[in-house]
Amino acid sequence: MRPSVRGKAEPFILFFSILFSCSLSLPSVLAQSSAASRPWTNTSLSPDERASMVIKEMTLDEKITLLHGTGMLGLSALSPEIVHSNGGAGYVVGIQRLGIPGIQMSDAAYGVRSSGENGRYSTALPSDLAGAASWDLDAAYEYGALIGRELRAQGYNMTLGGGVNLTREPRNGRTFEYLGEDPVLAGKTVGAVMKGLQAQHVIGDIKHYALNDQESGRNAVNVNIDKRAARESDLLAFEIGIEDSDVAAVMCSYNRVWGDYACENKYLLTDILKKDWNFKGFVLSDWGGTHSAAKASAAGLDHEEPGWVFYSDELKKDVESGTVPMAELDDHVHRILRAMFATGVIDDPPQRSVVDVFGDLEVAQKIAEQSIVLLKNDQSLLPLDAGKLHSIAVIGPHADVGMISGGGSAQVDPPGGNAIMPPGKGNTHWQEKIWFPTSPLKTIRAKVPAASVKFNSGSDPSAAAALARNSDVAIVFAYQWESEGMDLDTLSLPEHQDELIAKVAAANPHTIVVLETGTAVTMPWAARVGGIVEAWYAGSCGAEAVVNVLFGDVNPSAKLPMTFPKSDADLPHPTIVKPPKVTTDADHQGWRRIAAGLPAFQVTYDEGVKVGYKWYDAENKPVLFPFGYGLSYTTYSYSGLKIAPGKNPRVTFTVTNTGNRAGAEIAEVYAALPAAASEPPKRLVGWNKVKLNGGESKEVSVEVDPKFLSIFNVEQNGWQLLPGEYVFMVGGSSQSLPLKETVTLK
């Protein structure tokens, strides 16, 4: 979303030195009024009523103040007595005389990012994609609640997390920040996260609206896609998340869509978001994503970040001239004030406090354990039996000291700095590889103190293979790093890790590969290893969670929220379309260059609604591991499918744990629409995560939202359930659906 101040100050300084010649009038901002003269403090009134009361008392300059940020800490032209930034990514000056506090924003995708700049600790949860792999909405709620608590403890009252862009392009450098390839799974998950967060009286945010599906040229790319396909895929994820959570803010994206920048795209911001979805909150721009005043205002952009390029003097002049109606301006202000009242940031402002480190680490580890996907387990190699192992080889880059995390504005600063650096010297630059101090080697040694556990970095594959050959089992920790501001060229593992794994597996058939990735990876060695575990970016307690799964303290239950293809060539777009190069001079103008805009280049998503598994199904392409797939240390069977048609069809079936160990099965429900719909072969319409003891059976019911069975009719601008035959399918993954029944829906 935006670079850190550290190492990125120069573009900001150039940008704001040019623009801060504009005067910012804040009359009476420090004046006080008595509580008796503030009827909006009455909590029995609705947020809308309270916001309207405040607006009646505001001057034009005060209204403008709420519609933009102040830059970032240390780079603002405002006087210190006015700016009380907490050191986060964004700060909005409040209206003190009216009792309206400032808005303190922090990046918080999988933990509070800006902790280092205000001297506070933050817990890193597993990455958002990992959270989606749990398919657990209760866990998603806890995910958001933890972030909300830690934001408040650090003095923030707004998150800038909530990414829900679909994995249309798995090489997107921000895939780890998002929630997978299916709109129902992603939308329901982000909705639960935002509900948990806003319950802590913090303003929630869902982003990046919309179709920001690649980082390459994100400030210039123009996305072309059929409107029906957009509504049934990427936009549906936003629709579900907003509907489920009543989220207070939506962040518009950098890219263009259908020719207009997303942050001045009336069809996206007003026609769909505010009218069709009845969104009551406010729209803020991504950092530097505002490109105009009057056009953006009319389109529905309510707030500019990080500074005031357009939404200050220029917007004020447009209001005074009548170019921007006062009613339009008041709507922007109303939405921001309403969000503040609705989420409780005015009635219950954050108070700095000590983060519950141990409690939050426990939550982070529990979620990580539910997020780890067991992809392969030949001959029941896993779980490992600590009592029977005498020698273990731990192999892989930095597996002796830590586990990697995703980069960019989502990066959470690890305590003590980068684990691969000397103490106190850890670099936490926003776009460098950061390793959390959660050591697989140390954790394995603690788990099996009687065994010989030796480490090899893998820098010399032959030496690593020799160690593996002389060990009972070899565990290879492999990684693939992703970050905002870049895309992967390929889904292959970097730094010759495929060669390393192949050599280790050739030396020891009892080889287990633990993947630390933020997206899918190709695996030319998959057939030669005994076990594969996808750990994602596992957070502050990643090693503890992984080792508990490897040794059976935890029975894995997670399933893939995205397809793992066999090769890049199988993707809808074998290569990512990249922008033409810009000149060095233009590139060094930082945010000013973004605001000015770059020549558009085109990306056409001609696969349309066929995102992820829908693409592979429709094109009959075999995959490495399908969407919804994941193994357990027990087994499950399905029986007794019954469909009760109606407005909300009810799918009922029985799941049986056919093993002798307790576990949790994610039972997935898919539907095939009538042929007249011209849709991919099937779509996810619901699921239920069922906990079962060994030998236990439970009847499960899933109520299906009719929207999930519908197509979007562009001409009628609405969802349409076609009459005809619908095939409901139930099972353990998108390619393992033993139960099927056809029903006719009217």
DSSP 469-527: HTSSEEEEEEE---BTT-B-S-SSPSTTHHHHHHHHHHH-SSEEEEEE-SS----TTGG
pLDDT at 426: 55
Q: What CA–CA distances, in Å, run from 717 to 27, 191, 271, 603?
A: 45, 24, 10, 25
Q: How confident is the model at residue 596 (pLDDT cuts 50, 70, 90)?
A: low
**What percent of the chain is predicted at pLDDT more than 90?**
85
In 644-675, which positions are buried (b, 16+ CB within 10 angstroms) versus exposed (e)?
eeeeebebebbbbbebebebbbbbbbbbbbbe
Helix (H, G, I), strand (E, B) or coil at 7: coil
Q: Specify which residues 368 forms β-bridges with.
A: none
pLDDT tens, position by position, 64-100? 999 999 986 554 555 554 567 888 899 999 999 999 9
- What is the reported pTM? 0.93
CB 190 within 8 A of CB 239: no
Mean pLDDT of 294-319: 97
d(CA 24, CA 169): 42
Q: Which residue has the higher pLDDT, 175 or 76?
A: 175
d(CA 384, CA 633): 11
pLDDT at 4: 41
Q: Which residue has the higher pLDDT, 626 or 115?
A: 626
Q: What CA–CA distances, in Å, run from 205 to 47, 171, 242, 246, 248?
A: 18, 24, 9, 10, 6
Mean pLDDT of 406-424: 85
CB 68 within 8 A of CB 311: yes
Query: Hey, what are 645's tokens?
Result: 């048609």
DSSP state of 407: B
CATH code of the domain occupying 373-557: 3.40.50.1700
Give the residue range(s) of CATH 2.60.40.10 domains in the chain.
Answer: 634-745
From 65-74, 352-361, 417-426, 726-735, the region with the lowest mean pLDDT: 417-426
Residue 159 makes CB contacts below 8 A (sequence gap 6+) with: 105, 106, 108, 147, 148, 151, 197, 202, 203, 204, 205
pLDDT at 432: 83
d(CA 155, CA 132): 28
Residue 130 makes CB contacts below 8 A (sequence gap 6+) with: 176, 367, 368, 371, 372, 535, 536, 537, 538, 539
Mean of the per-residue pLDDT values of the chain: 91
Q: Which fold has domain 634-745?
A: Immunoglobulin-like (2.60.40)
**What percent of the chain is predicted at pLDDT more than 70?**
89
CB 208 within 8 A of CB 254: yes
Q: How confident is the model at residue 145 (pLDDT cuts 50, 70, 90)?
A: very high
CB 230 within 8 A of CB 272: no
Give the residue range(s) of CATH 3.40.50.1700 domains in the chain.
Answer: 373-557
pLDDT at 183: 98
From 561-575, 586-600, 703-717, the region with the lowest mean pLDDT: 586-600
Mean pLDDT of 102-120: 82
d(CA 647, CA 323): 47
Residue of 247, 158, 262 whose CA lies nearest to 208 = 262
DSSP state of 733: B
pLDDT at 600: 87
CB atoms < 10 A from the CB of 716, how many? 8
- Going across the sheet that includes 697-703, the strands are 636-644, 650-657, 697-703
Residue of 425, 419, 436, 426 whose CA lies nearest to 538 = 436
Q: Give the length of the chain.
A: 746
Q: What H or E segment, with its residue span, contains residue 319?
A: helix 313-321
pLDDT at 587: 37
Q: Is 286 a catalytic residue?
A: yes
Task: With a cut of 70, say whether residue 11 has pLDDT above it.
Answer: no
Query: Hey, what are 422's tokens?
Result: 């000397």
From 46-55, 297-306, 597-606, the region with the lowest mean pLDDT: 597-606
pLDDT at 21: 31
DSSP 550-561: HTTSS------S
Q: Looking at domain 63-343, what is its CATH homologous superfamily? A: Glycoside hydrolase, family 3, N-terminal domain (3.20.20.300)
Task: With a cut of 50, say whether residue 617 has pLDDT above it.
Answer: yes
Q: How confident is the model at residue 746 (pLDDT cuts 50, 70, 90)?
A: confident
Vertex 625: Cα angle to 125 and 134 (nearest 5): 30
Q: How confident is the model at residue 414 (pLDDT cuts 50, 70, 90)?
A: confident
Residue of 89, 80, 104, 86 whose CA lies nearest to 30 = 80
pLDDT at 539: 96
Backbone angles phi, psi at 612, to 5 degrees: 65, -130
Mean pLDDT of 702-729: 98
Quick one: 385 exposed, middle or buried, by C-beta within 10 A (0-12, 13-18, 19+)? exposed
pLDDT at 179: 98
Q: How confident is the model at residue 29 (pLDDT cuts 50, 70, 90)?
A: very low
pLDDT tens, position by position, 301-311? 999 999 999 99
Residue 562 makes CB contacts below 8 A (sequence gap 6+) with: 129, 167, 170, 175, 180, 181, 519, 520, 612, 627
d(CA 237, CA 251): 14
Give the residue range(s) of CATH 3.20.20.300 domains in the chain.
Answer: 63-343
d(CA 219, CA 728): 42
Query: Hey, what are 565's tokens?
Result: 């293809």
The catalytic residue among 107, 136, 260, 286 is 286
